[in-house]
Structure formats: structure tokens, C-alpha cells
Structure 1
Amino acid sequence: MSNFIYQGGIAISEDDFQSHLGSLCQLENIGVLLGAGASVGCGGMTMEGVWLDAINCSPDLLDELLTFNLITQENINNKDVNVEQLLDQVTQYLSVYKKTTPLNIETDFESQPVGKLQKILLCLYQSVTKAALLVNQESFGDEKLGSQDKFKYHRELLEKLISNRQPGQAAPMLFTTNYDLSLEWAAEEIGIQLVNGFSGLHTRTFQPQNFDLSFRNVNAKGEARFGHYHAYLHKLHGSLSWIQEHNSDIKEIPSALAKSRYIDPLLNGEPVYDKQFLIYPGANKYHHTIGFVYGEMFRRFSEFLSKPQTAIIINGYGFGDYHINRIILGALLNPSLHIVIFYPELDKISVDAEGLSEPQKCIKKLKSLSLNQITIVGGGSSAYFDSFVKYIPKPVLFPRDTSTQDLVAAINDLVQSGNQI
């Protein structure tokens, strides 16, 4: 294992790494960046998985994409299609064709360019959505989903990050490129508030000043006041629970409502163009008011990395987003920033530089910088999400993995039995 942990470009032992990670968790600011790989263990898909699902759903998809020059044969052979970028391209093509190509009433709609592009768009939207459900379509929106065993490590991550905070330190920062609700469900299960920029009782809208607020116990005095009851969540690419109808404000809605009003119709094959109100990736998302929301999320990410005494731990992110990569590389100018990257395929790029993809080149560049600020963990499954969470140390006063659940269960048993505390 030690051969796959590098700090400053030099291999270090697992014990040294655990000691280093323990020190980082005590810094003034601690954050995590999670990508698709962090949700694979609980039912999600990697970008490659989304692409394979899309082409399996529609046998004509590859031919149509090639016809429109949206992908190349090399993309197909290497399975390196970025579905997020593809969604953006298809949307742009569709917009152009609708404006410049009149519909032929005598010809079948699905055989015309606009019809073909709408069919492609529907297929891609369906695959992206299925990847983010994490649970089966029927149960999405049910209560207590966060209690499922598949979200065990998401619950543990939140508990460890919050309980490691010291008096006067900031609450943990969570950044994710995922649309799924794994973190929200896990936090709800263990009673942790997530500040995600949205506020409101009946209508939750985005207000950036929410990220400057925090929760505390007003009855606690002295040192007891330091305890955190919350974490900050920044969804850099949107969420299954965000919607925008007819250029209105971005709203966050309950998952059950998102399922019945938007997700079910989409997965059942209803046409989506001009009626797709779920927030999805692509450059077109920067139009209108949604640009404000995404811009604020990325600004907060960049601002966090520029703070003194800061650590960011990256897991499940494949470095396929140029904008995020640029922010991370630029943040290395902060001398007190520490970055820990869990990258399972590290051994595949540690020797030969030929034929590397752009994301792999970025990892190779980070490793070759030989900065003590950068620690990279490889080793296949040793860098997966569950292993990453196990590496995060427990504070001395944090007894067991199930402490929160045990306490809640004990109180419920007392209440149900009629005993008085």
C-alpha cells in the first residue's frame, strides 16, 4: 500500500499518511470535494457508466451522434465521452436547428434533425438521471432513505468531519459535482443541518448570504459553545432537487415532488426539450438566473481554497472538469493549503505518459510538482470512498461509528415504553 501514497512526489508509509491526515483535520478549515466515484458504492455511476448506459438504452444513439459530428469513432473506442459536455453540445445544436431549419410537415418528425436531436437529448437526460437516483425509481422520495446501509459511509464522513472541529474553527465545507442526494439524506438521518444556499419554509430559493450563516446552541456557555451542528454543502453542478421553470428563480423542492413532477415523466419517455426544468450540466446552464447560482458556488469553492490553514480532501473526482482543475491548480499559490487526492488509477499513470487522457495528465502534473502540499493516494480500492472515510481519524471523544444512531434509538425506546427520563 505504501507504494501508492505520495507526498511531494515521494512515496510515504501508510502510518505517516494517517498521521498527516490527522493533523490536517485539525486545521482551521477542512473541506472535501466529492465526484461521481463517491456515489458508485451506493448505486451511482461513473461518467463512463453513464455513457455506456446511454448507448445501451438506444441502439441508434451512436450512429446519430456520429452523423451530427457530436463524437468521433476514437471517442467511442476509448469510452472517453463526457456526457455533461455532450448534453451541452446537443442542446446548442438543437437551438440552432430550431431557429434555422423549418419543419417539414409531410415528413415524420423523428426523422428530421430537430426530432433526432430531441431523441438524443432525452436519452442522455435519462441516463444522467438514473445515475443520480441511487435508489430504485419507486422508492426515490421516500422518507428515511439516509438510514439505508448503502449510505453508511456518507453518515460516517459527516460525523467525523464535524466532531473533529475544535473551539472557534469553521464548520466543514462539502463540495460535490454530483446531482444525487446522498449527503442530504445522510445528514437528515443523523440530525445534521446542511447549509446549501437555499432558504425558505414553503418556497426554498437560493440566497448566497446563507453560506455566511451558522447554527449554534444559544444555551451553551463558555467552551461548550464551540460545538457544530451543521456543515456547508456546495453542489457545483446542480442537484436532482433543484428546478427552474420559465426563467424563474432557482428553487429547491422535496425529492418526492421532484420525482412525481419531473423525474417520473422524464424516465417514462416524455419529451423534455422546452419542458426540462431540472437543473443539469452544460454551458447552457450559465444562461439567465442559473448562472448566478453556479457562479456563486464556484466563487465559494475558490474562496475556500484561498483561506489560510486549509485542507481539501478529494475523492471520487476524476479531474474531468477543466474549470475545477484550474481552480485547484491556481489555489496552490496559497502556501498553507494542503490537498489530499484519492485517485484509484494512480498506478496506471505513474510510469508511462503516452496516451494519457486530459484528466490523467492533470493528475500526473500534480504529482510531478513535488510539492509537500500535495498528497496523492492510489492503490485501486484503497482509494475508494469507503477507504477514504475510514482513513479520517475519529476524535478521542467520539466513541463508535453508530453512536448517533444508538442514542436516537435509545431515546425512542424510552419514549415508546412510557418510561420517564
Structure 2
Amino acid sequence: MSKFIFQGSSPISEKDFKSHLGSLCQLENIGVLLGAGASAGCGGMTMKGVWLDAISSSTSIVNDLLYFNLITQENITNQDVNVEQLLDQVTQYLSVYKKMAPLNDDSALEFRPVTRLQKILLCLYQSVTKAALLVERESFGNENLGSQEQFKYHRELLEKLISNRQPGQAAPMLFTTNYDLSLEWAAEEIGIQLVNGFSGLHTRTFQPQNFDLSFRNVNAKGEARFGHYHAYLHKLHGSLSWVQEHDSDIKEIPSALAKSRYIDPLLNGEPVYDKQFLIYPGANKYHHTIGFVYGEMFRRFSEFLSKPQTAIFVNGYGFGDYHINRIILGALLNPSLHIVIFYPDLDTISTDTAKLNEAQKCIKKLKSLSLNQITIVGGDYKAYFNSFVKYIPKPVLFPRDTSTQDLVAAINDLVQSGNQI
């Protein structure tokens, strides 16, 4: 038996696990939930990485945080800083100090509490944004970014999910807490349509009914007409390409425009985060998700998990978001739901509950439930995003050495050579 794969609370062999995955891929509904770890291998950062980037970018942020008692020296020593909670606390402090600030404050502007808190926020927001770029800042917004080697496994994930669907089955559902554009870039490269709730040619606005639409080939006959050319993408916490100014509708814009209008100014030090061009991580983000767009995203997530014959693969998500954990735990009441969790640090979770953080407690609880509908994969690198994608089987009729990208390249070569197909 494997020492890093558990179904319920019992270890299973890697062979049995692969067989189990093959069966799950044939269920009526299949989806994935991706977190920061799923983008770490292609240029992203985990929350720990965001913190380390922030303190390396600003020489004063640590002293300012200590001044306001927002962190302790022990946090700094152990690099145990929850950036989500930190952003929430700084935002709350800033709101209070703005109301308390006297009009005749004679202290230098740079030493005023409001100014110092604003600098902390700006520094943290800059690090969060840099973590979501994935590519060099100068190339963000360029065309064909999805063809880069770093997005190889994102392309492969989409190809496998699409090709495993049988006639009449639902298209794959993608859920992510990430702001980055890895899935969008990968889908564009291999010619897969992503339905993300936004529609419009010149002005793309959010329309929830878009999630009830699908693509099909009108020239196909019989069962072939129900083949899939698309997947559904739900960005639970927003995106670098979503903007909202002055309480207007949330719009989706091209990445190049997002870079010039919002990302570059922010990284250059302008406080454009006031325009809420994305929902930054924070313990208060559940409050933000009550809004129209985010509420709809979470409703769709909960609705998906309640459907019969459903499988969801969780990768790169650290179980640090209480509202998502609550939806997952509640969904276990669905007897035909199967959850496969890839959690690299599974082996390091302490048996002493008092020493566990909230995320680790959630994982330990899921494992202790001893439900066969829950499978957890640990083993450090064996649970990374690339390993997860490799575990997903290709269908029997899908050529093992041929991908959608290879077929597109072959057709282009024929066209360029002047041969007729």
C-alpha cells in the first residue's frame, strides 16, 4: 500500500488510485478546484512567497507592522505570517485611523498612522499582483503566452478534461481562487473556448446566464453533435483582467489594457487599488463575495458539488479560505460526490491538534471522516500540479502521443506547404 495516498483514512496503492481516477473521469460531472500552488510552478507565488516578496521590497514594512502590533517577532522569525488576515487587519486599522485623524495633526505626513498604513497596503497589494503575473512584467499582455513551456501542464489539463467527456456529458467545470490568467492563456493556445460568465464584443460584462450556454458543432450528426469544445471557468476571487471603477459593473478587459491602465500604475506606486480592479485576498473577502458577480460564482460552485455523480479534483489549494472549506464540507452530504485532494504537506501534519493552523485542521478533519468518497494524496512533490495532471488518464481512444496542439501544428504545416487537405 502507498504511504501517501489515502481513501477515507486507509492507505491505497498507487495502482488502485490511478484506476479510481479513471473511473471518476467517466462520471457525469467533473471539475477541478485550483489554488495558488497550481500556479507556483509556472511563475506564481504561494502566500508565504508573497510575504517574503513584500518584506524584501520594503525596508520599513516590518517595523511598521510591529509598530501597529499587527505581527509579532515570532511571526517574523518563523515566517508565519498569514497575508490574508494581515490585509484584512490593515484595512480595518486604516478605516479606524481615518476617522480618528485630527485635522490639525502637526506630525510629518510620512509618520502619520494613515500614511504608514497606506504604505503597508500598497506594498502587500504590489506583491500579490506580482505573484499573479506569472510572466515578466514587460511581456504581460503579449500574444500567445499560452504557448510557453511553463504552461505545458495547464494545456495538458484542459486537453485531458475535455477529451475524457463522453457524448451527452457536461463540459468540465474549472474553479480557481487565483487571479492569474494561466487557464485563459492555455485555453487560447489549444483552441478551447472558456465560458467565464462574461460576454460582449467591445464591452464584456458579466451575465450569469452565460454559464447555462454551451458550444456545439451544428454540422455534426447524432451523438457527435454533443462533443465538447469548451469548459466553464469560475474565478472565485476575481481576476487581473477584471475591472470595476466607481461602483460600476465589473468588466473583463484584455490583459494588455489591464497592464497599461491598472497593473503598471500600481507596481509604480500609485494607489489604484482603491478602484477595486480585483478582490485582493483577505479574511473579509467573504464580505466581498456577496456582491453580484462573486455571489454567482460561489452559488455555481456549491450547485456543482450538489449534482449527482460528480467528481472534483483539488490541487494547489491550501484550505486557508473558511468560506470555501464550508462549502466543501457541506457538499459531503451528497452521497455521489467524490473529492480527490492533492495536499503536498499531508505527511507533516502534527497529531497534536493544538499545533495545527485552521487549514491543517480542515485537512485532518476530512481525513478522519473515513469516507470513501474522499481521497487525499500527499507525498510532497507527488501532489504538485504537474504530478496531478500526469495522474489524470487519457481516454482509450485518445492517441497517447498526440495532443490538440500537435494536430493544430500539423494542419498549419500542411497549409503553409501549399498541400490540400
Q: TM-score band (shorter)? A: over 0.9
1:38-57 correspondence runs (5 A)? 38-57=38-57
Residue pair 2:266, 2:273 contacting (<8 A) in 1 also: no
Residue pair 1:350, 1:364 contacting (<8 A) in 2 also: no
> How far has the Cα of 1:415 moved from its partner?
2.1
Q: Deviations over 1:357-384 (max 9, x none)?
A: 1111111111111110100001110110
Counterpart Cα distance in 2 of 1:140 and 1:16: 42
Residue pair 2:286, 2:323 contacting (<8 A) in 1 also: no
Corresponding residue for 1:222? Answer: 222
Corresponding residue for 1:107? Answer: 107
Corresponding residue for 2:139? Answer: 139
Distance change in 2, residues 1:404/1:11 (3 Å): same
> How far has the Cα of 1:92 moved from its partner?
2.7
Corresponding residue for 1:346? Answer: 346
Corresponding residue for 1:198? Answer: 198
Q: Deviations over 1:99-147 (max 9, x none)?
A: 3313556533221111111101110011000100000100000000000
Asked if residue 369 in structure 1 is aligned to residue 352 in structure 2, the reply is no
Amino acid at match of 1:406: D
> How far has the Cα of 1:70 moved from its partner?
2.4
Distance change in 2, residues 1:401/1:320 (3 Å): farther
Residue pair 1:36, 1:316 contacting (<8 A) in 2 also: yes
Identity over aligned residues, as a percent? 87
Question: What secondary structure does 2:3 align onto?
Answer: helix
Distance change in 2, residues 1:185/1:216 (3 Å): same
Distance change in 2, residues 1:350/1:159 (3 Å): farther
Distance change in 2, residues 1:286/1:392 (3 Å): closer
Counterpart Cα distance in 1 of 2:35 and 2:321: 10
Corresponding residue for 2:185? Answer: 185
1:272-421 correspondence runs (5 A)? 272=272, 274-275=274-275, 277-282=277-282, 291-349=291-349, 351-400=351-400, 402-421=402-421
Question: What secondary structure does 2:217 align onto?
Answer: coil
Amino acid at match of 1:343: Y
Counterpart Cα distance in 2 of 1:320 and 1:173: 22
Counterpart Cα distance in 1 of 2:54 and 2:213: 41
Residue pair 2:238, 2:279 contacting (<8 A) in 1 also: yes
Q: Which stretch shows the higher mean deviation, 342-351 or 321-330? A: 342-351
Q: Deviations over 1:201-246 (max 9, x none)?
A: 1111111111111111111110111210111111111111111011
> How far has the Cα of 1:274 moved from its partner?
3.4
Amino acid at match of 1:6: F
Question: What secondary structure does 1:323 align onto?
Answer: helix
Q: Deviations over 1:285-319 (max 9, x none)?
A: 67789711111111111111111111111001111
Counterpart Cα distance in 2 of 1:263 and 1:4: 41
> How far has the Cα of 1:277 moved from its partner?
3.1
Distance change in 2, residues 1:232/1:35 (3 Å): same
Q: Which stretch shows the higher mean deviation, 114-123 or 395-404? A: 395-404
Q: Which stretch shows the higher mean deviation, 353-362 or 330-339? A: 353-362
Question: What secondary structure does 1:296 align onto?
Answer: helix
Residue pair 2:244, 2:275 contacting (<8 A) in 1 also: no
Residue pair 2:262, 2:272 contacting (<8 A) in 1 also: no
Residue pair 2:159, 2:403 contacting (<8 A) in 1 also: no
Residue pair 1:248, 1:289 contacting (<8 A) in 2 also: no
Distance change in 2, residues 1:284/1:376 (3 Å): closer
Question: What secondary structure does 1:345 align onto?
Answer: helix
Corresponding residue for 2:12? Answer: 12
Distance change in 2, residues 1:268/1:209 (3 Å): same
Amino acid at match of 1:9: S
> How far has the Cα of 1:342 moved from its partner?
0.4
Residue pair 2:345, 2:380 contacting (<8 A) in 1 also: yes
Counterpart Cα distance in 1 of 2:172 and 2:349: 31
Residue pair 1:315, 1:343 contacting (<8 A) in 2 also: yes
Question: What secondary structure does 1:240 align onto?
Answer: coil
> How far has the Cα of 1:76 moved from its partner?
2.9
Corresponding residue for 2:148? Answer: 148
Q: Deviations over 1:154-197 (max 9, x none)?
A: 00000000110112110000011110000000000000011111
Counterpart Cα distance in 2 of 1:4 and 1:277: 40
Residue pair 1:171, 1:232 contacting (<8 A) in 2 also: yes
Counterpart Cα distance in 2 of 1:154 and 1:121: 31
Corresponding residue for 1:258? Answer: 258
Amino acid at match of 2:208: P
- RMSD over aligned CA atoms reads 1.8
Counterpart Cα distance in 2 of 1:79 and 1:416: 55
Question: What secondary structure does 1:416 align onto?
Answer: helix
Q: Which stretch shows the higher mean deviation, 52-61 or 368-377? A: 52-61
Corresponding residue for 2:240? Answer: 240
Amino acid at match of 2:219: N
State how many pairs are aligned. 421
Question: What secondary structure does 1:178 align onto?
Answer: coil
Counterpart Cα distance in 1 of 2:288 and 2:320: 25
Question: What secondary structure does 2:341 align onto?
Answer: strand
Q: Deviations over 1:312-364 (max 9, x none)?
A: 11001111001111111111111111010001111112655451111111111
Distance change in 2, residues 1:330/1:342 (3 Å): same
Counterpart Cα distance in 1 of 2:39 and 2:401: 20
Q: Which stretch shows the higher mean deviation, 205-214 or 353-362? A: 353-362
Distance change in 2, residues 1:365/1:21 (3 Å): same
> How far has the Cα of 1:47 moved from its partner?
0.8
Unpaired segments ≥5 residues, structure 1: none
Residue pair 1:320, 1:359 contacting (<8 A) in 2 also: yes
> How far has the Cα of 1:33 moved from its partner?
0.4
Question: What secondary structure does 1:339 align onto?
Answer: strand
Question: What secondary structure does 1:245 align onto?
Answer: coil
